[in-house]
Structure 1
Amino acid sequence: MSVTSHRTAGTDLPADLPPDAGRAATGIAIVLVAQLMLVLDATVVNVALPRIDTDLGFGPASLSWVLNAYTLAFGGLLLLGGRLGDVRGRLRLFEVGLTLFTVASLLGGLAQTPGQLVAARAAQGVGAALAAPSVLALLTTSAPDEAARNRALALFAAVSSGGASLGLLLGGLVTDVGSWRWTLFINVPIGLVVLVLARRFVTETPRRPGRFDVVGAVTATLGAVSLVWALIGTPDHGWTSPRTLGGFAVGVLLLLALALTETRVAHPMIQPRLLRSRRRVAALAVMALVVGGQLSMFFLVVQYVQGVLGFGPLASGFAFLPLSLGIFTVSRFTPRLMARFGARVLVVAGTLGLTTSFVLLSQVGADSSYAGAVLLPMLLNGLSAGLVFMPVTATALADVEPEHAGAASGLLQTTQQLGSAVGVAVIVSVYAAGAVPGEFLPGAREAFLTSASFTAVALVLAVTMLRPVRARAVAPEPAEVEALAAEAA
C-alpha cells in the first residue's frame, strides 16, 4: 500500500499517512458537527425559557420539562443506542438517530402548545441517544492511526464539554435577535447537511453477528430512565418523597437484573469485561463527578450574571465565552501533553484546577463585578476542563475491541448523563436549602462548594485509581531457560 509523507520540521504529524487519511479526517469533522448539535440542544433553550413560557403558557410547574424531556430520553436510551449501533451498523444508526433529531427539531420549532413542545423535545432526546454513541464509536474506528484517534478524541471532548456553554451563547443570540423557535429551527439545515455528507465520507462499520439481548436492552433502558426520572424530580419533590425513593428503588432493581442477565447471555447488552478494568471504572466515575460539578456553572452562574449583574440573554451567553475558549484552546494541545505526561497527570491537574475555580466562585457577592469575580474562575474552569475530558475519554475507551466500541461509548455517555442528573439534583437541593425568595446569593456559596467537593473526589480518584497498569513479568518456559543456558555455555 502506498503512503504519502507529511512530516515537516517542528510538527507532530506522523511520518506516513494512509492514502485515505483526508477522507477519514473529513468524516471525523462531519460527525463532530453532529455531536456539537446534539450537545448544544441540552442548553441552547435554557436562556429562552422565560420567552417560551410567555409564548406558550407553560406555568412554573411544567416549564422544566422543556429541559427534562430531552434529558430523560437522551440519558435513558444511550445504552440501547450504543448496542444497536454495534449490532445494526453505527453509520446506519447514526443516520436514523440524526434524522429523528432533525425532524423533531422542526416540529418543536413549530409547536403551538406546551404538550407539542415537550413531545418534540422527548423525540429529540431519542434521536440524540441513537446517534451519540455512534458518533464516538465512529471517531475511534475511523481514525487512521493512534495519533489521529487521540486528536479526534480531543476534539470530541472539546465539542462535548465546550458545546454546553456555546449553547447558552447561541441561544441568547437567536432569542434576542429573532425568536426562541430558532433555538430549534437552527438544527434543521445543519442536520440535513450532515445527513447528505455522512454516507459519502464516513465508512460503515461491520455488524456484529449474534442475537440481540432483549432482556438486557429493556432493563438497561428502563433502569436508566428510572434513575434519571427520580433525580430530575428531586429539586421539586425532595430526596425522601415517595416519587424519588420509588424511582431509585425501581432503577436499582432493574440495574441489578441487568447485571445478572449480562453474566448469563451469549451476546450481552453490556460486556461485563468492560467493567473489570480498574482504570476504566475510575475514568467513568471521574467523568460523572466532573460533569456533575460542572452543572453549577450553568445553573448558578447563569442566575448570578442575570439576576445580580443584570445581564440579558445575549450578554449571559457571552459571559460563558472564556469557558469555551479555555476548553478549545487546551484541547488543541491535550494529545501531545497526554503522550508526554500520561492521562493521570493531566486529570490530576485538571480536577485540581476545577476545584479551585469552584472555590473562587463561592466568594461572589452582591458588590462583585464580572471581571473581578467571574472571569478568572470561568477561564480557569475552561482550561482545567480541557485537561480532563480527553484523557478520561481515552482511558474509558482504551483496549475496547472494535465490535464493542458502541457499547463502551454508550456506557461512557450514560455515565455523563447520570452525572449531569445527579449534579443538578444535588446542587439545586443544596442551593434551595439556603435560598431566600427573590435573592440569589443565599445558598449559592454552599452550592458552589458542593461542586468543589465533586471535583475534589474526582481528584482523589485520579491520584489513587488512574495509576498506569504495570506489565506483569512472565516466567520463561523451561525450554527457553535451557536454550539460554546452552547459548551462554
Structure 2
Amino acid sequence: MQPESINAPPGPDPRRWKALALLGTAFFMVILDATIVLTAIPSMQQDLGFTVSGVQWVLTAYALTFAGLMLFFGRMADLLGRRRVFMAGLALFIASSIMCGAAWSAEVLVAARSLQGLSAAIMAPTALSIVVATFSDSAERNKALGVWGGLGGVGATAGLLLGGLITDGLGWEWIFYLNVPVGLVILALCPVLLRESRERAAGKKFDVVGAITITVAPLLIAYAVIQAPESGWASATTIGLLLAALAVLVLFVFVESRSAAPLVPLRIFRNRTLVGGNLLMLVVGLTVDGMLFPLTLYAQQVLRYSALQFGLISAVMTVMSVVGAFAGQALVTRLGIRPIAIAGTLLIGAGCLLLIPVSVNGSFGDMVWGLLLFGPGMGAVFVAAQIAALTGVPEEESGLAAGLVDTLFNIGSALGIATVTSVAIAVAGEPADSIAALNDGLRAAFALAAVFAALGLAVALFVLTRPAEVANDTAVSEPVSTAGGPA
C-alpha cells in the first residue's frame, strides 16, 4: 500500500481499478436508494397511511436534500480531504438507513429519508471526485467515467427489480436495512484502497449562503408543483412560490458572482460541453423518474401486480440499460458525446410514447416495448451526460463538477416526480374515483415524461458540441478557463 498523500504522486495508482470498484459500489447504492423505494410505494402507503401526493415525499425528500447539498459537500471534500469526507458521509448513510427501516410513521420516514439524502449528498460527489483524482491518464479516466455513468443508469432501474424482490420477500423495511452490511464493508476498505487527496488552497472557505439558496430554490419549486392541483396552477400561492424560487435563484447567482470562495464559480459555465452535459442530466432526471413513478402505480394499482411481479417486469429495462451503457461507453470515444446523447434521448422519448396508450385491461405486453426502448436509451444518455459534464475540469475542481452534475440529476428527479404526480392528480383527482380515472391520470403523466425527453433531445442537438471537439483522448483533461480567479 502506498503512503497517503495530499496530492497523488507521479504515475498511475496501482489500486485505481479496485478503488473504482469500491467507489462504484457506494455510488450504485446511493443511486439505488433513489429508486428502490418506487416498488415499495404501495406497501408504504398501506402500512404508514400515505396518500398519493404524500407518498411522493419519500422520493422527493431524498432527491431534494441530495441535490441541494451536493455542491457544498463536493466543495468541502476538495478542501478538507476527499477520502475523509466520503467516509463521514458513508457512516451517516448507514445510520440513516437504519432510521428509515425503523420508521413507525409517515412523518418519521420522510424525515429519515431527508437525512439519508444528506448523507448521499456527501458521498456521491466526493466519490466521483476521488475517481477523477485517481485516474491521471485521460484515456483511462474516460473509461472509468463511462463505467460510472453506466452504474448510474443501471442503479436507477435495478432498484425496481431489487425493490420488488425485497419488498415481497422480506418487507419494505429491508430495502433500507440491507444498506447496512454493504456500507460497513465499504467503510472498512476505504483506508486500504483509497488515497487521500485535496485541493491546494491557502484558505478553507465555505459558501454557506450559496449552499442555502441552491437548496431552498428547488424545494420551493417542488412544493409549488405538488400543491398546485389543490390550490390551482394559476393561484396566488402557486405563482408566489414560483416567484420566490426565482428570486432565490437570482440571489444565488448574485452571491456566487461576488463571493471570494463561491460554491459554483460562474466561469465554469464558459465550457459549453460541461453546460450541455449538466442540462442533459437535468432532463434525464426529469424523464427517468417522471416515467418510473407512474409506471409503478400503473403496474401495482391499476393492473394489481405484486411488488415482485413489477420488479421482474422492470428487469427488461434494467438489462437493456446495461446494454445501452456499455454500448454508449464503447462508442463515445469513436463518435463523440453528441451522437450518443441524440440516440439515447430518442430512445427514451419513444419508450415514453409507447406507454401512453396503457389501459385498465392492459398486461405486461402493453409495457414491454416501451421498456425495451427506454432502457438502452437511459444507459446511453447517462454515460454521454456524465462524460460531457466532466469534460475540461481540472482535478482541483473535480468535486465541484461532480457535485454539479449529480445536483442537476437529482433536482430533475424531484421535479419530475412532483410534476407528473401533480398532472396525474389533476386529471384523475385525489383520491381517484375509479381505476379508469387513475389510469387516465397516469397516461397523462407518461405523456409529460415524453415531453421531458423531447427537451433532452433539444439539448443534445443544440447545446452539446460537435463530436470532433470532444472525441479525443484529452476529453477530460483539458482545464477550463480560470479567468475568474481560483475557486
TM range (shorter): 0.7 to 0.9
Contact 2:30 2:120 in 1 (8 A): yes
**Offset from partner CA, 1:433-483 (integer Å, 9 cap, x none):** 332532233133333222222111221221122133988xxxxxxxxxxxx
Q: Which of these residues, 323, 345, 367, is aligned with residue 329 of structure 1?
A: 323
Which range moves more in the overlay, 62-71 or 282-291?
62-71
Contact 1:75 1:228 in 2 (8 A): no
CA distance in 2, matches of 1:79, 1:68: 18
Contact 2:341 2:380 in 1 (8 A): yes
Alignment of 1:128-207 (within 5 A): 128-207=120-199
Aligned length: 453
Give the deviation of 1:233 after TM superposition: 4.3
Contact 1:80 1:220 in 2 (8 A): no
Describe the SS at the equivalent of 2:195.
coil
CA distance in 1, matches of 2:222, 2:326: 33
- Counterpart in 2 of 1:480? none
2:275 aligned with 1:275: no
- Counterpart in 2 of 1:474? none
Which range moves more in the overlay, 205-214 or 37-46?
205-214
Contact 1:72 1:229 in 2 (8 A): no
Give the deviation of 1:216 after TM superposition: 2.5
Q: Which of these residues, 217, 221, 226, is aligned with residue 223 of structure 1?
A: 217
CA distance in 2, matches of 1:389, 1:250: 31
CA distance in 2, matches of 1:53, 1:260: 42
CA distance in 1, matches of 2:83, 2:229: 38
2:403 aligned with 1:410: yes
CA distance in 2, matches of 1:185, 1:212: 33
- Counterpart in 2 of 1:433? 426
Contact 1:320 1:378 in 2 (8 A): yes
Contact 1:309 1:370 in 2 (8 A): no
Q: 1:303 to 1:62 in 2, by over 3 A?
A: closer
Larger Rg: 1
Which range moves more in the overlay, 178-187 or 271-280?
271-280
Give the deviation of 1:18 after TM superposition: 5.9
- Counterpart in 2 of 1:49? 41
CA distance in 2, matches of 1:230, 1:308: 27
CA distance in 2, matches of 1:196, 1:283: 34
Contact 1:82 1:407 in 2 (8 A): yes
Give the deviation of 1:208 after TM superposition: 4.1
Q: Which of these residues, 53, 64, 68, is aligned with residue 72 of structure 1?
A: 64
Mark the runs of 5 or more structure 2 residues left unpaired by the alignment. Answer: 1-9, 470-487
Give the deviation of 1:236 after TM superposition: 5.4
Give the deviation of 1:422 after TM superposition: 2.4
Give the deviation of 1:187 after TM superposition: 0.6
- Counterpart in 2 of 1:464? 462
Contact 1:75 1:225 in 2 (8 A): no
The residue type equivalent to 2:384 in the other structure is: P
Mark the runs of 5 or more structure 1 residues left unpaired by the alignment. Answer: 1-16, 472-489
The residue type equivalent to 2:125 in the other structure is: P
Give the deviation of 1:194 after TM superposition: 0.8
Contact 1:171 1:183 in 2 (8 A): yes
2:253 aligned with 1:255: no
CA distance in 2, matches of 1:451, 1:177: 31
CA distance in 1, matches of 2:48, 2:271: 49
Which range moves more in the overlay, 95-104 or 462-471?
462-471
CA distance in 2, matches of 1:225, 1:175: 29
Which range moves more in the overlay, 244-253 or 394-403?
244-253
Give the deviation of 1:139 after TM superposition: 1.9
- Counterpart in 2 of 1:454? 452
Larger RCO (CA under 8 A, 6+ residues apart)? 2
Contact 1:292 1:421 in 2 (8 A): yes
- Counterpart in 2 of 1:444? 442
CA distance in 1, matches of 2:455, 2:87: 38
CA distance in 2, matches of 1:60, 1:434: 13
CA distance in 1, matches of 2:12, 2:396: 24
Q: 1:29 to 1:205 in 2, by over 3 A?
A: same
Give the deviation of 1:86 after TM superposition: 1.5
**Offset from partner CA, 1:30-51 (integer Å, 9 cap, x none):** 1111111111212222332333
- Counterpart in 2 of 1:484? none
CA distance in 1, matches of 2:227, 2:73: 24
Give the deviation of 1:381 after TM superposition: 0.7
Give the deviation of 1:75 after TM superposition: 2.1
Q: 1:61 to 1:191 in 2, by over 3 A?
A: same
Give the deviation of 1:195 after TM superposition: 0.7
Give the deviation of 1:307 after TM superposition: 3.1
Q: Which of these residues, 275, 286, 294, is aligned with residue 292 of structure 1?
A: 286
Q: 1:66 to 1:458 in 2, by over 3 A?
A: closer
Q: 1:356 to 1:46 in 2, by over 3 A?
A: closer
Contact 2:56 2:418 in 1 (8 A): no
TM-score normalised per structure 2: 0.86
CA distance in 1, matches of 2:226, 2:188: 36
Which range moves more in the overlay, 220-229 or 30-39?
220-229
CA distance in 1, matches of 2:54, 2:448: 27
2:390 aligned with 1:397: yes
Contact 1:234 1:425 in 2 (8 A): no
Give the deviation of 1:219 after TM superposition: 2.7
Q: 1:387 to 1:72 in 2, by over 3 A?
A: closer
Contact 1:165 1:317 in 2 (8 A): no
Which range moves more in the overlay, 354-363 or 294-303?
294-303
Q: 1:259 to 1:60 in 2, by over 3 A?
A: closer
Q: 1:114 to 1:449 in 2, by over 3 A?
A: closer
The residue type equivalent to 2:445 in the other structure is: A
Q: 1:77 to 1:247 in 2, by over 3 A?
A: farther
CA distance in 2, matches of 1:398, 1:324: 27
The residue type equivalent to 2:326 in the other structure is: R
CA distance in 1, matches of 2:83, 2:169: 36
RMSD (Å) for aligned C-alpha atoms: 2.4
- Identical residues among aligned pairs (%): 36
The residue type equivalent to 2:414 in the other structure is: A
